[in-house]
Amino acid sequence: MKAECRVIALISQKGGAGKTTVAMQLAAGLVARGHTVAIADLDPQESAVRWAESASAEAPFPARVRALQGEGAALAKEVRKLARLASIVLLDCPPSIEHPHARAALDLADLALVPVVPSPPDLWSARAVERLILQTIAVRPQLRGAMLVNRAQRTALSGSVIEVLREFELPVLRAGFSQRNAFAQSAVIGGSVLDLGKAAESAQIELMRVVDAVLAEMEKGR
Ligand SMILES: Nc1ncnc2c1ncn2[C@@H]1O[C@H](COP(=O)(O)OP(=O)(O)OP(=O)(O)O)[C@@H](O)[C@H]1O
Ligand SMILES: [Mg+2]
């Protein structure tokens, strides 16, 4: 991997936790902070590729998005190729940690981010991903991991959820995403909440806070 390129994997055990949505929003936010970003779509459903393809020619998605196939060394080679074109590569993983691409992503990443919807079943399944990340860190200490709260309802971060979040060994990122239409809607125009103007201001503020928290988390790993 090119020394100055950082790799962030979005990984979760549960489908629908928000890996693709977070990857696309993060990519746009990191570009807004001056980074060049590439997304490796490791999910056979190719949702990230489709998202970017929804953009118009006049306003293309701000990061290169490429579907990558293969396993092991072949996949690593493809990710390395993308890393030559960007300062940050985001890996959008398939919906299961049993999928070989999810494990390969952990072997390639500097930071594994686990989007978790703050509801009990989602938190339970996040424990399995956490275990896998901790096992990987045991053999590859340069990997860092963090939980990223996604789709938080204003009422949901109640006592019991906060209790469960505290039980994670991995840190919980200090910024997260609320449940907001803007995050889903920006897929329709093949962009991010940064393209939605003043109406999406709260989502934009949230995104840039997450971007800065992710950048701070990566700095710790240097
Ligand atoms: N913060 C959010 N606010 C509102 N809707 C959201 C948010 N995050 C994700 N969603 C919606 O939740 C659904 C699942 O999100 P997404 O496809 O990003 O999850 P995923 O983890 O990539 O799923 P899969 O495992 O199937 O790839 C989508 O309909 C998306 O629009
Ligand atoms: Mg997805």
* pLDDT surpassing 80 at residue 42: yes
Per-state percent for the chain, helix, strand, coil, to nearest 5 = 45, 15, 40
How far apart are alpha carbons 135 and 141 in whole angstroms? 10
For a pocket test of ligand 1, which of 12, 13, 21 has the largest count of ligand atoms closer than 8 A to its C-beta? 21
User: Measuring from atom 11 of ligand 1, which residue has the nearest CA?
Assistant: 184
- List, for residues 109-127, the tens digit of each pLDDT value: 999 999 999 888 888 889 9
CATH topology of domain 6-220: Rossmann fold (3.40.50)
- List, for residues 78-121, the tens digit of each pLDDT value: 999 999 999 999 999 999 989 999 999 999 999 999 999 988 88
Q: Is the dihedral of CA 159, 160, 165, 168 positive or negative?
A: positive
Q: Are 14 and 125 in contact (CB under 8 A)?
A: yes
Task: Report helix, strand or coil for 139.
Answer: helix
Q: Are 66 and 33 in contact (CB under 8 A)?
A: no
In angstroms, what is the span from residue 222 Cα to ligand 1's centroid? Answer: 30
Domain locations in the chain? 6-220
Question: Nearest ligand to the C-alpha of residue 16?
Answer: 1
The pTM of this model reads: 0.95
